Amino acid sequence: MKSMEMAAVTYSESFHRTNPKSGIKSRPVNHWRDQKGVSQVGYRKTAILTGLLVVLVSIGGSIFTPRPQAQSGQAPVADWLTDGGDLERTAWQRNETLISTSSAKNMKLLWRTKLDNQPRQMHNLLPVLIAGRVETAKGPRSIVLVTGVTDNLYGLDADSGEIIWHTKFKTDWTPPAGGGRGAGILCPGGITATPVIGPADKPGHYTVYAAAWDGTLRRLNLADGREIAPPAKFMPPNGKPYALSLRNNVIYTHTAQGCGGNPNMVYIYDLATDKVGTWGPAGGGMWGRTGPAISSSGVLYTGTGDGPWDPENGVYGNGIIGVRQNPTTKAAELVDYYGPSNAEWLWKRDLDMQVTPAIFKFKGKELMIDAGKECVIYLMDTESIGGDDHRTPLHRTPLICNEEVNFASAGIWGSMATWEDKSGARWALTPFWGPKHSKFKAPIENGPIKYGAIAAFKVNEKDGKYTLDPAWLSRDMNRAEPPVIANGVIFAYGSGEDTDQAAFDIGLAYNHDSSNRIRNSKKAVLYALDAQTGKELWNSGDQIASWVHWGGLSIANGKVYLNTFDGYQYCFGIDTRAGVAAAKGGRQ
């Protein structure tokens, strides 16, 4: 662990330097460069939030974050401790107060920080996690955890972007020169799973759980980045796990794409016994971007990738599976599954069911939404996601997009989202790529869609029949990515990524390495939308200089976080400090 407390750092555009203090820079609003080209950084002391500490509470087998209290004139402290915000992967920040439909127009770039993580293929930085109040040697701080694909973790100050600490995992394992299955874009090597943050022994203390490149589970103190336990065997090295979940002292993840020659598996790590349970669908990898969603009964749900649908023979390709830990043996066991009626056709057309589901309560039931490249959404009851025949969901929407049946640059990718408004109405959200289907209509459409958008639905029930009814379509976004929701505002972004996997002149060779797609990717743009109508409230314009792959949004305490392929961590938000006017580019 290297201490990264800084008063000033040498500016460098390179993020390949071996010196830990070069190639890393923070750009809060009071950042400037002197006449000698040295980047000067001055940090302001900020008021410490003294509101009631948010504590993860386990009730009825599920973990949630209660709404914190705050003293007069102070914002409450909120967290974002797991990818997607919670175990159910709702992407809903329930404790936001600073951002609203009226304040979103005042969003600014508060800071951006350059990190020295070396990219691998198209991967660089993963979605951040946020702990709103962490007890450190210098007092309480709000810490942003950033993960770099090349076995790096960084702790940043949420107010300034200052790098508090940096840890690079040490290992005796030697990565193969090629990197694994073809060493291509699909298998970059390195850390591919967003870590998870859990409570430690007392309030204000947190443990970071991460799956390192060598397949070990690492445990770190969030306050200083120090490893607090020896590495523990979790899975084979050089695989491709997805975002970790933590429930009742058990960590969940799944892998995909056979990276490193490893089978695609569910992994369930029991922290009390250090036992690992595994289960595999045999028919395809599980690659929902935000990892698995976990139900109130502890069932892991995820979609499966390309492969035949043959459950009688233990093969579950192009479907959705539910796996639970056996409380006695700690084994991972299949408890439920669903296969679309056209699963065989989906397999033939490479239309994976590769999206992270979202789970929510509605009228006394626990429901789930999920989707895939075909571009339809499935509404399911977690009591039995496919009914008696495992082929019948509660509801299936018509095609939203992908009229041309494109396997690479259209359809639904990433993860779902859901929230409940003040009236009690339940909403379901999905990103999608490409134009909307010519026959799909929504009551509110915010302009023509060419490259992608966010689609919103209302969950309804009448006479025992459940439906997803279209509500609105957002403006066009260049490869719309999974949204997050806070206080009536939806944040989404167009990644700018070149998602093509083939070209007319060279076919699939276009995707054999990352050079073509890196060269043809554009800038990302972040958007704030009215959650009731999809109307645009604000956008980041040209402030984001690069594009995003394998990233995602996180939100807490009036700040929205996004990072880019060029190694920058961005923080946009509502600047509440009196007398501070953030200049364009986050510099003053």
Quote the percentage of the chain above a pLDDT of 90: 79
Residue 586 lies in a domain: no
Residue 547 lies in a domain: yes
| CATH number of the domain to which 187 belongs | 2.140.10.10
* pLDDT at res. 105: 96
pLDDT, average across residues 358-366: 98
* Residue 73: alpha-carbon gap to chain centroid: 32
* pLDDT at res. 197: 98
Q: Which range marks the domain in which residue 422 is found? A: 2-44+74-573
pLDDT, average across residues 239-255: 97
Ramachandran angles phi, psi of 474, nearest 5°: -80, 180
Of the listed ranges 70-74, 97-101, 204-208, the least confidently predicted one is 70-74
At 508 the three-state DSSP class reads helix
If one compares 74 and 34, the residue with the highest pLDDT of the two is 74
Among the listed residues 400, 256, 392, 251, the one whose alpha carbon sits nearest the alpha carbon of residue 332? 251
The contacts of residue 26 (CB under 8 Å, 6+ apart) are 6, 9, 41, 111, 113, 114, 156, 160, 161, 162, 163
Q: Are 417 and 368 in contact (CB under 8 A)?
A: no
Quote the percentage of the chain above a pLDDT of 70: 84
Of the listed ranges 43-52, 90-99, 108-117, 218-227, the least confidently predicted one is 43-52
- Give the whole-angstrom CA distance, residue 521 versus residue 372: 23
Residue 301 lies in a domain: yes
- pLDDT(326) > 60: yes
Of the listed ranges 24-38, 166-180, 373-387, 524-538, the least confidently predicted one is 24-38
Going 304 to 305 to 311 to 314, the CA torsion angle's sign is negative
* pLDDT at res. 178: 57
Q: What is the pLDDT of residues 94-113, one digit of tens each?
A: 999 999 999 999 999 999 99
Radius of gyration of the chain (CA): 22
pTM for the full predicted model: 0.86
User: Which pairs count as long-range contacts for 7-10, CB under 8 Å and 24+ apart, including other chains?
Assistant: 7/41, 7/42, 7/43, 8/38, 8/39, 8/40, 8/41, 9/39, 9/41, 10/38, 10/39
* pLDDT at res. 75: 52
Identity of the amino acid at 336: D
Q: Are 571 and 545 in contact (CB under 8 A)?
A: no
Residue 66 lies in a domain: no
Residue 181 lies in a domain: yes
The contacts of residue 235 (CB under 8 Å, 6+ apart) are 211, 215, 241, 253, 255, 262, 265, 267, 276
Strands (E), 162-265: 163-168, 196-199, 206-211, 216-221, 232-233, 245-247, 250-254
Confidence of residue 512 (pLDDT cuts 50, 70, 90): confident
Q: Are 370 and 353 in contact (CB under 8 A)?
A: yes
Confidence of residue 532 (pLDDT cuts 50, 70, 90): very high
* Residue 40: alpha-carbon gap to chain centroid: 32
pLDDT, average across residues 140-152: 98
Among the listed residues 153, 190, 211, 219, the one whose alpha carbon sits nearest the alpha carbon of residue 20? 153
Residue 51 lies in a domain: no
Q: Are 248 and 58 in contact (CB under 8 A)?
A: yes
- pLDDT(71) > 80: no
Residue 65 lies in a domain: no
DSSP for 326-392? -TTT--EEEEEEE--TTHHHHHHTT-----B-EEEEETTEEEEEEE-TT--EEEEETTBTTTTTTS-
Q: What is the pLDDT of residues 372-396, one digit of tens each?
A: 999 999 999 999 999 999 999 999 9
- Give the whole-angstrom CA distance, residue 421 versus residue 531: 9
Residue 324 lies in a domain: yes
* pLDDT at res. 509: 79
The total of structural domains in the chain comes to 1
Report the Cα–Cα distance between both ends of the chain, in Å, rounded.
Answer: 31
Mean pLDDT of the chain, nearest integer: 87
- Give the whole-angstrom CA distance, residue 47 versus residue 584: 24
